[in-house]
């Protein structure tokens, strides 16, 4: 039976057989290096285990690193955040007061306009003709008035004087004829002729008096002429006003937010051609969640910013709270007035608003994340005292976002441990501020 030996065993046997003291250290070192190389992963794992045990022992002795927060003193402001839109307190619909054809549109949508600035021009030819016709009627009525004053009245006055003179002659002739008839020297025919002439003279005087009266102020001819003049002037004023309506102007300063008219269109009264957002106060229209209704009051201050310019904030004030609730959205309509609106604000812009509903000045503040059982009757915190976290019952006040007011239990500059750290009271820790 043949037995074969492994080369490594043969080498080992040869080494044991041929052992020499002067070569022993080199052989031992070669064997150790070979052993280390063969078991390198086991030795590395053992080394890592030793290091982990050492670090664990150190961590147990000095405690884990934990981020802590200092108790600070400052102002705490509670706000209600909402989104809304920009709107003017009211809008003005601008239309035509007459029916006509648009000759030109002088403005564009979005343009800023001043009061009395022309916006739309209508075709004015027919209106101009009506003005000329009315001016002619006024001139005619005025000429009639001047005729009464300069001709009719003086002529009637002269006719009255002549008729009065004729009446005096007729009265004298009648008296002579009557006297002769009584004495028998005159005939009846002469007396009848004198009587007839006297009646005619009296009639002429009365007619002349009526002519003078009707031509004077208060007389019928004068009143009729004066009325005709007033009517003609009123017709002229109407025609001129209608001619003025041919140019549609801005009723006040503002921005045109809608234009629905073009050149050549036929417009009629009652149709809005342009919509004007008057210059002045700007309102912010918000929808506040119903649960925050009790926090909102008239006169509260707010800070707002347009979504297009988030870094530029401006002030506003609560000016209106709708008395009803929108049941479909469980929200309440709230309006805020912006007394000094920035130039970049545009109608219907989207804005974000922080309404200040409460404020505490110079109070102790801690992050909400450090408070245990915040909604219970006895909230508490872990506060660093004597190098270890200790339980401390606190009395809380206003909560605004992720900050809470502490009324009692901790002092300024003390350090508190967050709930998420998972630290127990009395445990060793290494606090990191």
Contact 415, 68 (CB under 8 A): yes
Least Cα distance to 344 among 309, 379, 371 occurs for 309
Q: Which residues partner with 72 through β-bridges?
A: 365
Predicted pLDDT of residue 239 = 94
Give residues with Cβ within 8 angstroms of 306, minimum separation 6.
Answer: 86, 312, 344, 345, 349, 350, 351
Q: How far apart are the first and last CA of the chain?
A: 81
Q: Walk along the chain (433 residues) in steps of 10 and give the mean pLDDT of each run.
A: 39 40 49 69 78 61 80 90 86 92 92 93 94 95 88 84 87 84 78 85 87 83 89 95 94 89 92 87 88 89 91 92 90 90 85 90 92 90 89 91 90 91 86 82
DSSP secondary structure, 70-115, as one string: E-EEEEEEEEEEEEEEEE-S--EEEE-SS-EEEEEE---TT-EE-T
Least Cα distance to 221 among 156, 275, 171 occurs for 156
Least Cα distance to 83 among 307, 281, 298, 337 occurs for 307
Least Cα distance to 273 among 87, 122, 126, 89 occurs for 122
The whole-angstrom separation of Cα 230 and Cα 8 is 142
Least Cα distance to 92 among 269, 279, 340, 344 occurs for 279
Predicted pLDDT of residue 223 = 86
Give residues with Cβ within 8 angstroms of 415, minimum separation 6.
Answer: 68, 69, 70, 71, 383, 384, 431, 433
* pTM (whole model) above 0.85: no
Predicted pLDDT of residue 285 = 93
Predicted pLDDT of residue 134 = 95
Contact 161, 201 (CB under 8 A): no
E strands, 253-312, where? Answer: 254-259, 266-267, 272-278, 282-289, 301-306
Contact 106, 121 (CB under 8 A): yes
Specify the residue for token string 């102790």: 364
Query: In terms of C-beta density within 10 A (0-12 exposed, 13-18 middle, 19 or more buried), how is residue 178 classed?
Result: middle
Structure tokens at 354: 């922080």
Q: Which residues partner with 211 through β-bridges?
A: none
Query: In terms of C-beta density within 10 A (0-12 exposed, 13-18 middle, 19 or more buried), how is residue 429 classed?
Result: buried
């Amino acid at each position: 039976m043949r037995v074969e030996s492994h080369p490594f065993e043969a080498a080992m046997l040869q080494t044991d057989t041929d052992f020499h003291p002067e070569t022993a250290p080199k052989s031992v070192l070669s064997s150790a290096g070979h052993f280390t190389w063969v078991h390198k992963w086991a030795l590395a794992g053992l080394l890592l285990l030793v290091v982990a045990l050492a670090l664990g022992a150190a961590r147990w002795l000095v405690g884990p690193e934990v981020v802590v927060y200092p108790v600070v003193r400052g102002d705490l402001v509670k706000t209600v955040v909402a989104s809304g839109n920009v709107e003017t307190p009211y809008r003005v619909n601008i239309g035509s007061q007459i029916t006509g054809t648009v000759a030109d549109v002088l403005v564009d949508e979005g343009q800023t306009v001043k009061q009395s600035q022309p916006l739309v021009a209508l075709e004015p030819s027919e209106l101009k003709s009506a003005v000329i016709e009315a001016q002619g009627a006024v001139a005619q009525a005025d000429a009639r008035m001047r005729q009464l004053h300069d001709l009719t009245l003086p002529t009637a006055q002269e006719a009255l004087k002549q008729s009065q003179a004729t009446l005096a002659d007729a009265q004298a002739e009648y008296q002579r004829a009557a006297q002769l008839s009584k004495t028998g020297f005159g005939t009846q025919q002469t007396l009848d002729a004198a009587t007839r002439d006297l009646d005619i003279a009296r009639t002429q005087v009365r007619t002349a008096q009526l002519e003078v009266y009707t031509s004077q102020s208060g007389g019928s001819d004068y009143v009729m002429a004066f009325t005709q003049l007033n009517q003609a002037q009123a017709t002229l004023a109407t025609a001129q006003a209608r001619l003025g309506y041919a140019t549609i102007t801005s009723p006040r300063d503002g921005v045109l937010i809608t234009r629905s008219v073009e050149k050549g269109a036929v417009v009629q009264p009652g149709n809005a051609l342009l919509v004007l957002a008057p210059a002045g106060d700007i309102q912010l229209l918000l929808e506040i969640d119903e649960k925050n209704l009790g926090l909102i009051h008239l006169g509260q201050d707010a800070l707002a910013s347009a979504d297009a310019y988030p870094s530029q904030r401006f002030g506003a004030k609560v000016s209106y709270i709708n008395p009803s609730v929108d049941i479909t959205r469980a929200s309440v309509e709230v309006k805020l007035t912006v007394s000094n609106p920035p130039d970049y604000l545009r109608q219907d812009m989207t804005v974000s608003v922080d309404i200040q509903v409460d404020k505490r000045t110079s109070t102790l503040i801690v992050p909400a994340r450090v408070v245990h059982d915040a909604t219970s009757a006895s909230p508490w915190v872990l506060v660093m005292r004597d190098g270890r976290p200790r339980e401390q019952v606190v009395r809380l006040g206003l909560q605004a976002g992720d900050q809470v007011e502490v009324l009692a239990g901790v002092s300024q500059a003390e350090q508190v441990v967050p709930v998420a750290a998972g630290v127990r009271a009395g445990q060793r820790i290494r606090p990191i501020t």
